[in-house]
């Protein structure tokens, strides 16, 4: 029989995406003890809060200390309100207060990349380093920066929007109106789009065959084709890796991190992506010979990063740790 009392240090972490919501229950040591997921409902804050409440209850939310929620948009660090989320269909909602009312627990809300960065800082590839940055290559590009052991939120909570750093001045047009933003030039979606284009141009290639099978997404097909020696798939990963290195160098020049972490699906390509990123990073970092090396490494956490990080951030904030300071 499970204890009816709150388990100190246990928390539920929720990662809200545009299409699905993933939730995990995490022990004080950061181990996932249960998980649940469902489709992202409707287009209103009330429907989203209802869905989060159900997931928390499903994971034994009456027996945890806190709930953390990562949101795909800009979150006001002071109030926990959602300011803007292009994929959710609503904005300007006081989500932290609404979720706290629904679950009856202390709740932390933050940007999804920020909570993923917290997972890497606390228990992942950046453990032990108080200055670090994570970029996640996904549908877009997420970024979270830890400075002096705290998440960098800026004066409003909107810091670390590296997706709109220019990495390729002649690159594709971004929804923000500029050309060559990192998020449209070197994200997971970029790899998938370039892969589909290359496959269409060369239907007899290994890449075209793998995409044509339809059993994996185009980005995964690029990685697999590159491993199989497909020249264009290798070139796509090299291009995206190189532009990622450009963005990482900008982050390092500004924040002077001890480590830079790259996450998201494309990291499955390993050195095929990271090696060109390191070359380009070293070329563009200011005075690399006069500073200690800054490792560029793969994230430890995969698809769970956001949910685990949200749970850890909730626990740390409830405990009054340094994460609680915006
Ligand atoms: Zn942009």
The CATH code of domain 128-298 reads 3.30.420.40
pLDDT at 5 over 80: no
pLDDT at 318: 85
CA of 161 to the centre of ligand 1 (A): 10
pLDDT at 323: 66
Distance, in Å, from the CA atom of 85 to the CA atom of 63, rounded to the nearest integer, reads: 31
Joined together, the tokens standing for residue 75 give: 């979150």
pLDDT at 322: 63
What tens digit of pLDDT does each residue of 122-143 get?
999 999 999 999 999 998 899 9
CA of 237 to the centre of ligand 1 (A): 21
Is CATH 3.30.2010.30 what the domain over 11-118+304-324 is classified as, yes or no? no
CA of 176 to the centre of ligand 1 (A): 4
Joined together, the tokens standing for residue 251 give: 């982050």
User: In the chain, what are the domain boundaries?
Assistant: 11-118+304-324, 128-298
pLDDT at 325 over 50: no
**How high is the mean pLDDT of the chain?**
93
pLDDT at 29: 81
Distance, in Å, from the CA atom of 293 to the CA atom of 289, rounded to the nearest integer, reads: 8
pLDDT at 6: 54
What tens digit of pLDDT does each residue of 161-207 get?
999 999 999 999 999 999 999 999 999 999 999 999 999 999 999 99
Directed axis angle between helix 218-227 and helix 188-201, to 10°?
70
CA of 184 to the centre of ligand 1 (A): 7
CA of 187 to the centre of ligand 1 (A): 12
pLDDT at 16: 96
Q: How sure is the predictor about 9, in pLDDT bands with cuts at 50, 70 and 90?
A: confident
Between 54-58, 84-88, 222-226, the lowest mean confidence (pLDDT) is in 84-88
Does residue 12 contact residue 68 with C-beta atoms inside 8 Å? yes
The pTM of the full predicted model, rounded to 2 decimals, is 0.93
Q: How sure is the predictor about 61, in pLDDT bands with cuts at 50, 70 and 90?
A: confident
CA of 67 to the centre of ligand 1 (A): 31
Fold match between domain 11-118+304-324 and domain 128-298: yes
CA of 241 to the centre of ligand 1 (A): 19
Mean pLDDT of 14-26: 95
CA of 216 to the centre of ligand 1 (A): 28
Q: How many CB atoms lie within 10 A of CB 129?
A: 16
């Amino acid at each position: 029989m499970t204890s009816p009392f709150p388990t100190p240090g246990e928390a539920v972490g929720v990662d809200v995406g545009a299409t699905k919501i993933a939730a995990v229950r995490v022990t004080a040591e950061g181990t996932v003890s249960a998980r649940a997921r469902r489709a992202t409902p409707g287009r209103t804050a009330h429907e989203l809060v209802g869905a989060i409440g159900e997931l928390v209850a499903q994971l034994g939310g009456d027996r945890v200390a806190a709930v953390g929620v990562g949101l795909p948009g800009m979150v006001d660090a002071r109030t926990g309100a959602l300011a803007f989320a292009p994929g959710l269909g609503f904005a300007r909602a006081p989500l932290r207060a609404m979720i706290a009312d629904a679950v009856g627990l202390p709740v932390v809300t933050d940007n999804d990349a920020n909570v993923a960065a917290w997972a890497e800082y606390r228990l992942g590839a950046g453990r032990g380093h108080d200055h670090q940055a994570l970029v996640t290559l996904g549908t877009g590009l997420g970024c979270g920066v830890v400075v002096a052991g705290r998440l960098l939120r800026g004066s409003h909570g909107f810091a670390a929007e590296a997706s709109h750093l220019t990495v390729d001045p002649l690159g594709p047009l971004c929804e923000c109106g500029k050309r060559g933003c990192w998020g449209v030039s070197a994200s997971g979606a970029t790899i998938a789009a370039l892969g589909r284009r290359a496959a269409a141009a060369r239907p007899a290639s290994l890449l075209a065959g793998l995409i044509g099978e339809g059993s994996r997404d185009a980005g995964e097909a690029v990685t697999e084709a590159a491993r199989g020696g497909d020249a264009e798939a290798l070139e796509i990963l090299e291009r995206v890796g190189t532009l990622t290195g450009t963005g990482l160098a900008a982050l390092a020049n500004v924040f002077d991190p001890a480590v830079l972490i790259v996450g998201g699906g494309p990291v499955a390509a390993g050195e095929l992506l990271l090696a060109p990123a390191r070359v380009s990073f070293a070329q563009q970092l200011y005075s690399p010979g006069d500073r200690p090396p800054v490792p560029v490494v793969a994230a430890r956490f995969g698809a769970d990063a956001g949910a685990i990080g949200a749970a850890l951030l909730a626990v740390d904030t409830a405990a009054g740790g340094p994460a609680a300071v915006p």
